[in-house]
Structure 1
Amino acid sequence: MDESSLLTESVGQILLRQAKTRGDATALAWMDRGPGGGDGDGGGDGILRRMTYGRLAAAVNAVAHQLDHLPRGERVVVWGANSVEWVLVEYACAARGLVLVAYNTAWTDAEASSATELVEPALVFAGSGGRAAPLLERAERLPGAPPVRALADLSPLVDGSVAAASDAFLDVAPGEPFLIQFTSGTTGRAKGAVLTHRAAVNSAFLRLRPTTSSADVTLNSVPFHHVGGSVFVLLGALTTGSALVVTDSFNAEESVRLLTAAQVTQLGGVPTMVERVLDRPDAAAAVSGLRMVALGGTDISPALVRRIRDEVGAVVMVTYGQSECPLISNTAATDAPERVATTAGQSAEETEICIVDARTGEEVPVGETGEILVRSPMVMEGYFRMPEQTAQTLRADGLLRTGDLGSFDADGYLTIRGRLREVIIRGGENIYPAEVEAALGEHPDVLACAVVGLDDPHLGEQVAASVVTVGDRDPAELEAFLADRVAHFKIPRTWRFVAELPVTASGKVRRTAVRDSMQSSIKPV
């Protein structure tokens, strides 16, 4: 495969290059509501502060010095909401040859414990976020008692000047592991996809290269613990030498304020985020400077694509990927709205996509549906410490089994037809029915259940459950039961109580029948 378009640097090497060539250019911007000053502009209810590439490299170097006691290849967990401190840890781990592990802030203690037992981190950075007890407190109870530090300990490096120090960056090769990105497993235990520097860097770079220049400013509020955050958001700006606006979470009012204050030219997120921004009465002037809107994470309506083009005048880009291979296909700036909304675009650069019969492994003709297989430098190395699952997903010929169903048209555009693994995508969050069903099955009065995804105009899909119970049950009771067992976004909000589930002759639940029946007759409660 021709690799002439690939970057051949590690994350740390790219940061040093940008600091050398664009040291005075803005790398990060964020709204500071604290009492401090700094390089910033007044705007709304806070001060917009900025960090240059030169200062960013110095701050990352300072954090790298704090990590220099950890052997190369050790795992470092970050568990917190988006923050500049989060960015410093990701880049510093990359600079030291350490492997970043991003924990979902919505995880329950059981989910976080399972991940911890798998990766055995040498250090945990914890911050704000989560819906239960503070993450810092919960991190201190993780199995194995890994050392825990507060992300807030790094705040002086964000708020003040950074003292000069010796270079703590190691010579990290592009093929070394950079990130363990968790993807939910159908067995209920999360799997960690190992991405190298090469895979992560080029996923971000090749996605943005056609549309992004060093003059751009990007606002994308997706959580950094998602592959969209840890790879596309944090490495996209870095690889293109552009500026990134950091927000702790999505808020439509705050987004409109930042669009103006930071002079944002590129907006990203899941469709519901963009819709909520456009629905704001004060959005028109704020979005007037946008050149590009990047959408992903769930189904996209043609109406939204047309609205963005008509009201904003911006190019719309849609990307298809997954934790195991962040970049698989992309739409182009010249694609028609219907094509952007109804397809996943064409194969990304350096990427080979095959559509095969899931039973035989043979390629299917154009127009026919089959499992999507992909081969590219962006494919994961495997699942961390899960050789059997890796062998099931990565074929001997290097092709990754995505578990998704799709088809090509005559022009080479990929359409996603379904999900072989039955994943539900709710507002950009991947939810696997088997995990929720297993948790629900722990309830003593639940005899059987089937969890499916129903169409939702805002979130793409909503989680629903058809349940067989002993006696009558209140949905609120079952939701409360699940609250301590799965993340909040995995809990069904639409319920149907039935005498029995439809099954095949072999006893398997007919999920399509369950979904179709609920979709036609059940409204979210």
Structure 2
Amino acid sequence: MLAQLHEYQNLDQFISSACQTYGDKDAFTSVGKTLSFAQVDTLAEQLAGYFYGQGLRAGDRIAIQLPNVNQYPIVVYAAFKLGLVVVNTNPLYTPREMLHQFNDSGAKALVILSDLYPKLDIILAETQIEQVISTGAADLLLDSSDPVAEHCVTWHQALAQGQGQYYPRSSAQLDDVAVLQYTGGTTGVSKGAQLTHKNLIANSLQTKEAFGDRYDDTSEIFICPLPLYHIYAFTLSILINTASGNHSVLIPNPRDLDAFVKAIKPFRFTSFAGINTLFVGLCATKEFTQLDFSSLRLTLSGGAALTTTAASAWVKVTGCSISEGYGLSETSPVVTLNQPGKEQIGTVGLPLRDTEVELWDENDKAVADGESGQIVVRGPQVMKGYWNRPEETAKALTADGYFKTGDVGIRLANSAIKVVDRLKDMIIVSGFNVYPNEVEDVLVSHPAVFEAAVIGKADERTGEAVHAFITIKQDVDEQELQAFCREQLTNYKVPKHIHILEELPKSTVGKILRRELRDEA
């Protein structure tokens, strides 16, 4: 593994060599438009020229706030060509969430979906962003686009200005930061996991190897409904598939199941990535069950626990088993994966090559076989640390390189890992992390709310749902508070239920006891 890793100096070499090797082959399809690897590389060259002409230099951060459109990989590859650091940003973020991420990362440039510009306009003056490119889903279908605002250039303007523009090729080294992947924390403040060129190349090579003979170079048609700003889809589609010369079919809105089915129907797709809720939804959609699955040989699940019900339904409908894996933003992301075709449902499989997984007790000592302990990970995919947060980094990374995940697991007799609990209070809603402190901070900023505690409760549709418990200063109803939350939080973070109590359970020192609320919920 390490010998193969050191064939590349950085991600620019990793990606550009593939684009040249597989030039005429289909690379990405979205909203009815397919681009070849050569076309993607040419557009990335033009965009890199534009960025350099606007003063961006190696190490500068560039935020991307786009759904799954073809522009996404083009921007990423342009950033890699220059040695810029990519800041993946959720398109569903509210202005408040955008402001934190842009300022924390120190982003100098932003590529944003045109429809999202009104949210940006609210906070742009409070950021360090100097360059904004606004693009629409149809920009790669049309030859021109209308300007959006005086602070922006359009996609086509940027490409025109960058065409033929000189720029120095990236000299980034393997240990340099390539991506800031934002994730929540126990403090509730989203922080950037520093993923290096080495982290991402290594995890691409490790994960591809774990796919085994169900994944082939140059012949895969890979359905990618998961958002590219999430590290799971980013590594799969933008890195692994491109490096392998494979075709990624990007789905901008997987919640629209009818449009989803229509988008993938023309393809004899061979591989598919999803999460539990998506598998359940698709298997209950008649039009999906009528598709041709004769070529499907690899289905991957991550981000949330895969249920036996979902796994069984998928096999019944498609004839293909689901390989569940486990990973985190801090591990680029994959740590373990079930061997395709030999899955042990209920586990997350075996560690990838060159990946050490241990289970530790509260004193950071390994537990006996069969006992539960905190999952800790060491390997080439483990992040460099948290961006500008040395104290948080020190808590998460040990001196000898183990990352403390905060998840609790058991190693089974066959060495497979089973995730059984979480040490931290994080809630996972449809594969997305929700941190209670962030939701609590928003709730208590409402004038009627005195105190708030937020927990996750099992939910048949989304895996977990956000439940809030509050005490109040004055009368207020659940709908008003949910509307207030929607103004400041992405939809999946908004409490599904808000319970008003006389008082919240507390310890002798006044700390709110979420665990007691979880037991009662």
Normalised by the length of structure 1, the TM-score is 0.88
Q: Which residue of 1 aligns with 2:438?
A: 435
Asked if 1:328 corresponds to 2:314, the answer is: no
- Name 2:204's counterpart in structure 1: 204
1:128 and 1:135 in contact (8 A); partners too: no
Indicate the residue corresponding to 1:510 in structure 2: 513
Contact 1:64 1:95 in 2 (8 A): yes
* Structure 1 contact 74–122 (Cα < 8 Å) conserved: yes
Pair 356,159 (structure 1): closer, same or farther in 2 beyond 3 Å:
farther
Q: Which residue of 2 aligns with 1:40?
A: none
Q: CA deviation at 1:422?
A: 1.0
2:105 aligned residue:
119
Structure-1 residue corresponding to 2:406: 403
Check conservation: 1:85, 1:158, Cα contact below 8 A: no
Look up the equivalent residue of 1:391 and give its one-letter code. A
1:149 correspondence with 2:149 = no
Residue in structure 1 matched with residue 18 of structure 2 by the alignment? 18
| Greater Cα shift, 12-21 or 500-509 | 500-509
Match of 1:101 in 2: 87
Matches within 5 A, 1:462-501: 462-501=465-504
User: What does the per-residue CA deviation read over 1:201-259, in whole Å, with 9 as the maximum and x for residues that have no partner?
Assistant: 33233223323212011111222221123223321211222110122221211222232
Residues 270 and 427 of structure 1 are in contact (CA less than 8 Å); yes or no, is this contact kept in structure 2? yes
- 1:275 maps to 280
The correspondence for 1:256, drawn from 254, 257, 261, is: 261
1:212/1:240 contact within 8 Å kept: no
Equivalent-residue separation in structure 2 for 1:245 and 1:151 (angstroms)? 19
1:196 CA displacement: 1.0
Structure 1 residue identity aligned to 2:374: E
- Aligned residue for 1:324, secondary structure, equals helix
Question: Match for residue 149 of structure 2?
Answer: none
Match of 1:521 in 2: none
> After superposition, where does 1:79-90 map in structure 2 within 5 Å?
79-90=65-76
Contact 2:107 2:129 in 1 (8 A): no
Q: Is the 8 A contact 1:193 1:380 kept in 2?
A: yes
Give, as a single letter, the amino acid of the residue that structure 2 aligns with 1:194. Q
TM-superposition CA deviations, 1:82-140 (whole Å, max 9, x none): 2111211111101111000112222222222122222211211111465xx63553463
- Residue identity over aligned pairs, in percent, reads 26
Give the TM-score, by structure 2 length. Answer: 0.89
| Equivalent of 1:241 in 240, 245, 259 | 245
Query: Contact 1:369–1:405 at 8 Å: present in 2 too?
Result: yes
How far apart, CA to CA, are the structure 1 residues paired with 2:279 and 2:77?
Answer: 28
Q: Do 2:199 and 2:382's aligned partners in 1 also have CA atoms closer than 8 Å?
A: yes
- Structure 1 128/299 Cα, relative in aligned 2: closer, same or farther at 3 Å? farther
1:74 partnered with 2:60: yes
**How far 1:491 sits from its partner (Å)?**
1.1
Cα pair distance change 1:287/1:307, threshold 3 Å: farther
CA contact (8 A) 2:114 2:136 kept: no
**Residue identity in the other structure for 2:455:** V
5+ unaligned residues in a row in structure 1: which ranges?
33-48, 519-525
Aligned partners of 2:62 and 2:110 also within 8 Å: yes
Task: Give the secondary structure class of the aligned counterpart of 1:286.
Answer: coil
C-alpha contact 2:176 2:197 (8 A) present in aligned 1: yes
Per-residue Cα deviation, 1:301-326 (whole angstroms, up to 9, x for no partner): 11211222232111311121111111
Change (3 A) 1:347 1:476: same
Contact 1:76–1:121 at 8 Å: present in 2 too?
Answer: yes
Q: 5+ unaligned residues in a row in structure 2: which ranges? A: 145-155
Cα distance change, pair 167–314 in 1 and its aligned pair in 2 (3 A): farther
**Structure 2 CA distance, aligned partners of 1:66 and 1:166?**
7
Query: Size of the alignment, in residue pairs?
Result: 495
Moved segments of 4+, more than 6 Å: 157-164
One-letter amino acid of the counterpart of residue 243, structure 2:
T
2:301 paired residue among 289, 292, 295: 295
CA distance in structure 1 between the partners assigned to 2:342 and 2:374 by the alignment:
25
Query: Is the 2:69–2:137 contact (alpha carbons within 8 Å) kept by the matching residues of 1?
Result: no
Corresponding residue of 1:425: 428
What is the CA–CA distance in structure 1 between the aligned matches of 2:272 and 2:512, rounded to whole Å? 41
How far does residue 446 in structure 1 lie from its aligned partner after superposition? Answer: 2.2
Residue 316 of structure 1 is matched in structure 2 by 322
1:375 aligns with 2:378: yes
Q: Match of 1:282, SS?
A: helix
CA distance in 1, matches of 2:185, 2:11: 28
Q: Shift of the alpha carbon at 1:145? A: 4.8
- Give yes or no for contact 1:445–1:469 (8 Å, CA) kept in 2: yes
For residues 376-435 of structure 1, give each alpha carbon's deviation from its aligned partner in whole angstroms, at most 9, with x where no partner exists: 110111111111111111111111111111121121111112111211000111001111
- For residues 42-75 of structure 1, the C-alpha deviation after alignment (integer angstroms, 9 at most, x for no partner) is xxxxxxx321112221111111111223211110
Query: Structure 1 pair 30/444, CA: closer, same or farther in 2 (3 Å)?
Result: closer
The answer on whether the counterparts of 2:31 and 2:137 sit within 8 Å (CA) in structure 1 is no
Q: Deviations over 1:129-165 (max 9, x none)?
A: 65xx635534634423532221349936986999985
